Chains A and B, each alone.
Chain A
């Protein structure tokens, strides 16, 4: 367990401690303020180069990482994999060697293979590697921004600031994660973060979309979705990942929706204070009804907005962090 991500890589939230997560959330809060200024840019990473390397399509993660790097004054190299030598059959390792030869400080990387960022981090020890999603493994910045959003909303309701509450707000918080747990790296990162912060996590999914090793995750498995909704403080929805073959794990999308979709009827079961989250992109009408996604419980837009400050915090701590203690 690492107690801080300062000066290190960020591959997975499963190997960082509560202290390290709280540190990112606190730093991100300072960057929220930077993002509210008229000049939303600080010179912190001037002269550093951050490469973004996305082997898998992405809208919000890529844009918010690049925005974050630019607001920290870093230079951003963005490799469009579709029009690069990758198409000529260049291996991941050679691509990494090529871009590190250009003198980069950090690589933000998304890859369809679980473990690819970890492989890269072993090849280039001097470059900070930040995982922006690898296969079905982890999506650590999503887990951090989800935790940040929960803390921000609950602290605001209590009339305080997130950094004043530390991780206290999470103690005893009941978080329900619903949907395609099996294929979801977001679920894995969320669970790592929420558990480290002290929340109780319950998952609910069709048995075919539960991972086979769920018993070792330390989460409760709910079989009655309606009952679980009534007990939840936070509901995290997941996208049904058709590109990873999720379609074959359920009889039909309509059946999935009727049993596990957060419909307008089911929204009424939620406690009035409950938050509804979704990492995006949403399949409206599949895992969530349009009216629920835009409704009073939803904090989905906040999640997107918090992507930039949280990723600024991650870049700041990993790239500017300096090695170890003074």
Chain B
């Protein structure tokens, strides 16, 4: 549990308290495998695909999707990680989030980028990621794959590949990991 807590960015001073488990590790695995197939279905070739996992919650899903996709396509699909802390629009409104590492080794010009994240909520993280990615070149297209779409969008952003649609209330919190998906609340420590 300590490891999971550390890897998930929480607003400082709060802790996630799970209420119900919605998906098991198996369910997650199968959903990601389906998403990999959907990506193959939409793209003739995986050669110019680049998976970009968002730090920190999107990283394990990006790793898993990369494994599945590479296995199906029988070639090593390019992938990297992106931290959007420096591109957020709420800098100064909240305490800053400690940045994690960014590793995008290729020029994205004329490639198809698939942003991978764990939970799609307001869409503001994805907006920040879109801004950030433009610094690595002009991608031919950018798509979005998320494990959980929980609604409550504040920006005109929709995902291309979804693991599971999950209607939630704003006061609830979703914890998505490859070991499973839980719904619960964030409470003060």
- A interface footprint on B110-150 (CB within 8 Å = 1, 0 otherwise): 00000000000000000000011001100000000000000
B83 x A317 contact (CB < 8 A): no
A7 within 8 A of partner (CB): yes
B94 to A326, Cβ gap below 8 A?
A: yes
Q: Which residue of A lies closest to B104 (CB)?
A: A37
Chain B residues with CB under 8 A of A319: 92
B156 touches A (CB below 8 Å): no
Instruction: Report whether A322 and B86 are in contact in the complex, using a CB–CB cutoff of 8 Å.
Output: no
Nearest Cβ distance between residue B189 and chain A, in whole angstroms?
A: 9
A305 within 8 A of B: no
B86 to chain A: closest residue by CB: A42
CB-CB < 8 A to A44: which residues of B? 85-88, 91
Question: Given A322-B94, A326-B95 in contact, is the A30-B14 Cβ separation under 8 Å?
Answer: no
Residues of A within 8 A of B13 (CB): 325-326
A34 vs B12: C-alpha distance when bound (angstroms): 24
**Known: A325-B12, A326-B12. Is A30-B83 also a contact (CB below 8 A)?**
yes
Q: How many angstroms from the CA of A226 to the CA of B74 in the assembled complex?
A: 62
Task: Closest A residue to B107 by CB, please name it.
Answer: A38
Check if A321 sits within 8 Å of B96, measured CB to CB: yes
What is the bound-complex CA distance between A29 and B83, given in angstroms? 13
Report chain A residues within 8 Å CB of B101: 29-30, 33, 161, 163
Task: Give A34-65 as 1s and 0s: 1 = Cβ < 8 Å from B's Cβ atoms.
Answer: 10011101111100000000000000000000
A234 to chain B, nearest CB (A): 26
Instruction: Assess whether B98 is interfacial by the CB under 8 Å rule.
Output: yes
Q: Secondary structure at chain A's binding surface: helix, strand, loop or mixed?
A: loop
B40 at the interface (CB under 8 A from A): no
Query: Using Cβ atoms and an 8 Å threshold, which residues of chain B touch A326?
Result: 11-14, 94-95
Q: Is the CB of B99 within 8 A of A6?
A: no
B98 and A43 within 8 A (CB): no
**Is B169 an interface residue, CB under 8 A from the partner?**
no
The answer to whether A125 has its CB under 8 Å from any CB of chain B is no
B100 at the interface (CB under 8 A from A): yes
Q: Is A251's beta carbon under 8 Å from chain B?
A: no
CB-CB under 8 A from B85, the residues of chain A are 30, 44
Instruction: Report how far A42 CA is from B12 CA in the complex, Å.
Output: 23
B92 lies within 8 A of A30 (CB): no
Q: A37-B135, A316-B96, A322-B92 are in contact. Are A30 and B102 (CB under 8 A)?
A: yes
23 A-B interface contacts by CB (under 8 A): A6-B95, A7-B95, A23-B98, A27-B99, A30-B83, A30-B85, A30-B99, A33-B101, A33-B103, A37-B135, A41-B135, A43-B131, A161-B101, A316-B86, A316-B96, A321-B96, A322-B93, A322-B94, A322-B95, A326-B11, A326-B14, A326-B94, A326-B95
